[in-house]
Structure 1
Amino acid sequence: MRSIELFAGAGGLGIGLHEAGFHPVSVIEWDRYCCDTIRENSERGIGAVAGWDLTEGDVRSVDFRPFEDSLDLVSGGPPCQPFSVGGRHRSYNDARDMFPEAIRAVRQTRPKVFVFENVKGLTRTTFRNYFEYIRLQLEHPDIHSHVDETWADHLSRLERHHTSGVRKDLHYRVVTRVLNAADYGVPQRRERVLFVGFRDDLDIEWAFPQGTHSVDALLWDQTRGDYWDRHRVSAKDRVLGPRMRERANRLVEKPQGLAWRTVRDSIHDLPDAEHDPDAAARVPNHRFQPGARSYPGHTGSPLDETAKTLKAGVHGVPGGENMLLRPDGAVRYFTVRESARLQTFPDEFRFHGSWSETMRQLGNAVPVQLARTVGESVARHLESAA
């Protein structure tokens, strides 16, 4: 199935959707380091990105009309800084808000379906009206704003059109949901809001796939199952925080489904980059980064829990969320390869740039596994409607 990937970043969303059966005929990204990462892996013949037609540049200069009525999917992650908890919360007053360009791509190409993602912060009460504005524009992409029309006036016009019952224009059935990647087998508590819209004429009914993993299943495995024995962890290193242990004690029967994956589950077979640098040097992007320290409110991810959300700082990463907390209380930074594991990138995929730059790419990425899960569900419904 043919697709276009906008705001590709280092490729997390695009790789997952590719593995689900969508093959991009055009990939657009403006950041040169992300483009270098994609190009390097494409040139190395890495299957997920091999042959990607990459455009390094501003999406605002791209004319999408040549792809009209020829695409199954338009996807991407419009820059999220305007809505990030760590950002300045300017939303529609922020020049980095690229949702208007995502909507223009939908309007000009008329794909069968689109998948867009963004940070959970977009759903905050502060941005609620703008969130609704985005959703209505995606439902009715032909009802675009007039010259000098404010977004609030455009929203009112969209609301009137939406409630009129008229559906002669291009129309999509849009659903949105905040998904926690940990619920889908990603070893990281990472929440993203997704917009999925099917073109109305396809008459497709769709819902987000249900989660397959849970924290309760993990706690059961750690207190009544073979988690520790499976990982050959000695009794003194079997550390479970008081809040987690209290929750585990409340479980009366084994939960359904699979366990949330922990940091240890994800990286246990990698050599220790701090204590065995020679072995670590044989693994791409697996180099120890010194300087990690912990202080109140700035702690790492415990080895035997699902990782905290990886972050992308403006001037490198701030530290806490991107650190590993060992059972003895020591902390160190995750290596790039370990972070890629937490984002479920394939091991053969390499990242271009310094540690801080590659961590920025990873901190902005969509977990590949989450993208693949959603993409597979979307693809099945498209195929059934063909």
Structure 2
Amino acid sequence: MTASPAQRQINDVEREIGTSVELFSGGGGLAMAMHRAGFRHLLLNEFNHRACATLRSNLAVKFDPAAEPPKSLDDRWPLIEGDVRGVDFADLAGDVDVVAGGVPCQPFSLGGAHRGHLDERNMWPELLRCVRETRPRVIVAENVKGLLRTSFDPYWQYILRQIDSPFEERVDGESWEDHDKRLIKAKRSTTDDLAEHYDVHFKLVNAADYGVPQVRWRVFIVAFRKDLGVTWDFPEATHSAASLIAAQADGSYWEEHGLDRREPVFTTPNSGSLDLPRWQTLRDAIGNLPDPIERSEFAGYTHHVGWPGARIYAGHTPNYLDKPAKTVKAGVHGVPGGESVLLRDDGSIRYLTVREVARVMTFPDTWTLDGPRGEQMRQLGNAVPVELAHAILDSVATALRPTLTTA
């Protein structure tokens, strides 16, 4: 399984830290971030056939049970295509350092039907099954801000308790409420095997605080196995809104982009430390790309194709070049709020191209996406921003390294 040119370009890791299994891989944002942090993928799983084609067109290869498992970070990522409920992870027991997944967010998304645990797309039980079958050192999960809605709080607390005690398995016919009572009792126990419990951390983070040119709030869960004795907390923000406000006010931002000084465009929220680099803007992300040609591929830039028909109106406002982009959503161009529309310097508007949205999600230009425009945009809208995930996973790798060298 020889590395592709794209993989060699992405391989900016110092050395391997450990191994990983990733579920719900989608378009590959979290998988790439894990790879960059030094985790060798033993297995990926994804259901959507377009997303699977995207993964295979870049760094993945269809899983072959007769093949040797990956031996280095340069090997391609084995991908099982299909429903996770049909995947047996038991053969990997004891070999997996991290189980990770951007659990499908539709059941808890503010843009979805809000059915939570009643939604058949609720895949938290499958993530936990993978944990039980592989016994990883660390669990990493990502989901939408809507998971923290007040109406979902009882089930959210139940999710956290399941991650704390994943081997206290729910039995057939048991309601989740009754299972939760057993989990609360298990958490209080002082006689349980520490290797079957996890120290659970969660945090609502804004991708813009970690160098992503987009305001995107997401919940991350990181849980270390208790027997490892790891002390860990989420990494501090690396970028600051206050620094962007200051740079536009003092003119350095405009000078950096070769523009005449203007009134500040970004003024709120005034948060973060002035000692940190500024938030990244849409202009930072896409400013060096040529204007797309409508319905034609621009030479040298994959997926940089113009698309006609952009409009703005009340409640459907555009992205501004000198602010972070709005949250990328899983739609072609008709998503509410104008998240795919760009206001240019001359006052005209157009749709963002797929390549521009990929840059907003911090995918490299070498990353290709399968399917028509709508499918490509859906993959990006459902993805985890690479730089956000990498900031968290790099911190996880640093904390995990001593436990691997002493194992």
Report what 1:37 is aligned to: 54
**Paired letter, 2:38:** G
Return 5+ residue gaps in structure 1 as ranges. Answer: none
Report what 1:104 is aligned to: 129
Report what 2:173 is aligned to: 148
1:239–1:304 Cα contact (<8 Å) kept: no
Report what 2:5 is aligned to: none
Query: What count of residue pairs does the alignment treat as equivalent?
Result: 376
* CA offset digits 1:39-82 (Å, max 9, x no partner): 111379xx989611011100000111111111111111111000
**Paired letter, 2:59:** S
CA shift for structure 1 position 318: 4.5
SS at match of 2:221: strand
- CA spacing shift, 1:297–1:55, aligned 2, 3 Å: same
Structure 1 counterpart of 2:249, from 195, 199, 223 = 223
SS at match of 1:197: strand
Report what 1:367 is aligned to: 385
SS at match of 1:348: coil
2:362 corresponds to 1:344: yes
2:25–2:46 Cα contact (<8 Å) kept: yes
Structure 1 counterpart of 2:155, from 112, 130, 143 = 130
- CA spacing shift, 1:83–1:49, aligned 2, 3 Å: farther
* CA offset digits 1:86-112 (Å, max 9, x no partner): 000001100000000001111110001
SS at match of 1:370: helix
Report what 1:320 is aligned to: 338
Greater Cα shift, 312-321 or 151-160: 312-321
Specify which structure has the higher proportion of helix: 1
Report what 1:71 is aligned to: 96
**Paired letter, 2:223:** G
Distance 1:177 1:367 in 2: 16
2:201 corresponds to 1:182: no
Report what 1:2 is aligned to: 19
SS at match of 1:89: coil
Give matches, 1:227-242, under 5 Å: 227-235=253-261, 238=262, 240-241=264-265
Report what 2:13 is aligned to: none
Distance 2:41 2:227 in 1: 23
2:286 corresponds to 1:267: yes
Distance 1:280 1:307 in 2: 22
**Paired letter, 2:137:** K
Distance 2:150 2:264 in 1: 34
Report what 1:11 is aligned to: 28
2:108–2:147 Cα contact (<8 Å) kept: yes
SS at match of 2:136: coil
Distance 2:192 2:388 in 1: 32
- CA spacing shift, 1:282–1:318, aligned 2, 3 Å: farther
CA shift for structure 1 position 327: 3.9
After TM superposition, the score normalised by the length of structure 2 is 0.87
1:37–1:352 Cα contact (<8 Å) kept: yes
Distance 1:316 1:10 in 2: 21
Structure 1 counterpart of 2:312, from 294, 310, 316 = 294
Distance 2:351 2:337 in 1: 7
2:32 corresponds to 1:22: no
- CA spacing shift, 1:261–1:162, aligned 2, 3 Å: same
SS at match of 1:295: coil
Distance 1:351 1:145 in 2: 38
Give matches, 1:239-254, under 5 Å: 240-241=264-265, 244-245=266-267
**Paired letter, 1:229:** E
**Paired letter, 1:382:** L
- CA spacing shift, 1:279–1:103, aligned 2, 3 Å: closer
Distance 1:37 1:375 in 2: 22
**Paired letter, 1:256:** D
Identity of aligned residues (%): 47
Report what 1:164 is aligned to: 189
2:107–2:115 Cα contact (<8 Å) kept: yes
SS at match of 1:258: coil
Which is bigger in relative contact order (C-alpha 8 A, separation at least 6)? 1
Distance 1:303 1:218 in 2: 13
Distance 1:359 1:72 in 2: 32
When the two chains are superposed, the root-mean-square deviation of aligned CA atoms in Å is 2.3
After TM superposition, the score normalised by the length of structure 1 is 0.92
CA shift for structure 1 position 228: 0.5
Distance 1:225 1:239 in 2: 9
Distance 2:38 2:166 in 1: 26
* CA offset digits 1:196-216 (Å, max 9, x no partner): 011111100000000011111
Distance 2:207 2:100 in 1: 18
Report what 1:194 is aligned to: 220
Return 5+ residue gaps in structure 2 as ranges. Answer: 1-17, 62-71
SS at match of 1:198: strand
Distance 1:80 1:278 in 2: 33
Distance 2:390 2:43 in 1: 19
